Amino acid sequence: MEHNVRDDIAKIVEECSFPLTAPACVDQIVTDIAVIDVDRENGRLVLRETAPGWLFDDVQVRTEAELSTTGEVGEMV
């Protein structure tokens, strides 16, 4: 999945603006620039991996929702 839509509008947002048909069914989000785990227990999104050449801050700027980490962020292969 592409991380953003046209004009760099974020797809990963704080709150959905569309009706949800299957809430709480996603455990991981994989995009062209990042792998993000959905941590429902702590209510956060955890950045696990970035595409080669991308840093945490690069991904955060393109993501409306706040990202966190639990240590070192790996590189997607």
In this structure, is residue 54 part of a structural domain? yes
Chain segment 52-67, per-residue pLDDT in tens: 999 999 999 999 999 9
Residue type, 31: T
In this structure, is residue 41 part of a structural domain? yes
In this structure, is residue 66 part of a structural domain? yes
In this structure, is residue 17 part of a structural domain? no
Tokens coding 64: 């409306």
Q: Looking at the 3D structure of the chain, how many domains does it have?
A: 1
Q: How buried is 23 (Cβ within 10 angstroms: 0-12 exposed, 13-18 middle, 19+ buried)? A: exposed
Helix (H) or strand (E) run with residue 36 in it: strand 34-39
Residue type, 44: R
In this structure, is residue 40 part of a structural domain? yes
Domain range for residue 57? 4-12+26-72
Chain segment 37-53, per-residue pLDDT in tens: 999 999 999 999 999 99
pTM of the model: 0.91
In this structure, is residue 19 part of a structural domain? no
